[in-house]
Amino acid sequence: MQLLRQRTIKYPKSFGRPRVILDVNFYVNCMLAMLELDATDHLMNLPEEFDSYLQGEFSKHSQKWEGCTHLYFPVCNHSHWYAVEVDIAKSTMFIYEPDKSCSTDDQIRADLKPMTTFLPMLLKKINIIIDALAIEWITTTSKQSNL
């Protein structure tokens, strides 16, 4: 907790109010909802967990999505992690992955299909309308080290 508090003070633009950092469970919940959607061709209601995320109630350090400008979350593809930033104003998902040899464009699109499906639906619940999310690959970040 102390480290988070220091980081908040030291990097206020990175951890300010309009940005929401999501855990891997959010991505997993989207994947599970996508499996249900694929299996039944319809999804009656979004799982209740999503409302908890929207209201900032899912974890101790969560915050409400209302008024946020960016969402961040991790994704794991075949034991390889990468980071995703959603810029709501630009309706774009930025994929921070310097090593394109680990994932193809098609694999990234498949990994992110649950997010590109459900994020617009969730944002609509807080009156933010996004028809579709573009995907842009950022390769100028540091390479992942497994040391």
> What CATH number did the domain enclosing 81 receive?
3.30.310.130
pLDDT of residue 144: 60
Residue 1 lies in a domain: no
- Residue length of the chain: 147
Residue 143 lies in a domain: no
Residue 56 lies in a domain: yes
Residue 3 lies in a domain: no
Residue 52 lies in a domain: yes
Q: Could you tell me the residue range of the domain that residue 37 belongs to?
A: 20-138
Q: Looking at the 3D structure of the chain, how many domains does it have?
A: 1
Residue 67 backbone class (left: φ over 0; alpha: ψ -120 to 50; beta: rest):
left
Over its length of 147 residues, how does the chain's per-residue pLDDT go in tens digits?
344 444 444 555 555 557 888 888 888 888 888 888 887 776 666 777 788 888 888 766 678 888 889 999 988 877 778 889 999 999 999 988 777 667 778 888 888 999 998 899 899 989 999 988 999 988 776 666 655
